[in-house]
Structure 1
Amino acid sequence: MFRPALNRLALAACASLVPGLAFAHSGLGQVVGFAEGLAHPLSGLDHVLAMVMVGVLAWQCGRRAAWLLPASFLAVMALGAGLGMAGLGLPLVEAGIALSVIALGGAIAFGLRPPLALGAALVGLFALFHGQAHGAGMPETAQGLAYAAGFLVATAGLLGTGLGLGRAIGGQQGRAALRLAGGTAAVAGVALLAGLA
């Protein structure tokens, strides 16, 4: 009885994120803020896959990781966004984002459970690239704090969606589905990386 309710909750969480795709990169020529920041992480498959995979990996790694990995991602992503907003660039940002999708998807595909400190460090490294992209991609007419709050809320939603998916379908029969999803994400990451060449 509890499992079908979780499945419906996970599907509802995913469905609630879809309408934001239609509004990605809106607000050109006007002051933009929270709504545009909220839409930004949803506008790229690379961001969506990485953030959902962080959530699934957090579920896969267990209790403490279920809050520590998403919290690490959000905190370091905010730092990376601040760097991007300040005009301080990182090298190879798009490659770092594609590699994050490959590594996170691969970890899920192979059922890896890295030690908590290593997992948090890797997730944080990947978050730095994602945050840099969000901060550097902020429209000139954006209200910085409102825009940042928007993409942090959207990111938290994507991380939560990954956690929910892990919990909803990650039982003994569902582990194969999660591994397939991780493998598919990793292949998508390879395609993203190849597209940069």
Structure 2
Amino acid sequence: MKVTGKIIAGIKIPDSAMATQSTELLREHGSELLYNHTLRVFLFAALNGQQNNLTYNAELLYVSTMFHDLGLTPHYRSDDKRFEVDGANAARDFLRGYDVSPQSLQLVWDTVALHTSPGIAEYKEPEVALLNYGAALDVIGKGYDQLSDSIREEIVRQFPRNGLKKNMINTFFEGFKHKPHTTYGSINSDICACMIPGYQKPDYCDLILHSPWPE
């Protein structure tokens, strides 16, 4: 089913070649859960932009959203970087195949890399803030009451949740269980603590007190 070009909940899904190809990459390398999650995130983000009369580039927001969790997948994940950085690098490499300015490349990189950074993303450019908002709404329900029941139901009807509450923690963990050290300082360290028996998150106070400085 072709999704680009469709209008869902009053939001048109971008249908440029760039948008279409990024969607195909998500279909190829992501699971059904990630695919549906990603499309919901874009719609939630775009609706929030509409509600707040924000000016943003819908195509760049869409491509950023398509890549925002691809760093969790075997095709894109690295052995030593945060999954958000893997996704951001992949998005930037993808866009280099199109006529995209250096400023737009950096914007997309930031949008993907910061999507799990509450307290920072919302103060960045609209695209960055909107992706962070859409992801938080879909995963933890932040801003749930800002959308009507009918709009939420329309979006979920098009892109079912597939038991996200039961399956998303494991989906995240599968993406970085081989490199738990990369979650230090991020919300994903909570997932490692949840999923790895006896896991001890690095403690910043300990790092300060046991630094090599001699005093």
| TM-score of the two chains, using structure 1 as the length reference | 0.31
Mark the structure with the bigger radius of gyration. Answer: 2
Q: Which is bigger in relative contact order (C-alpha 8 A, separation at least 6)?
A: 1
| TM-score of the two chains, using structure 2 as the length reference | 0.29
Normalized per residue, which structure has more helix? 1
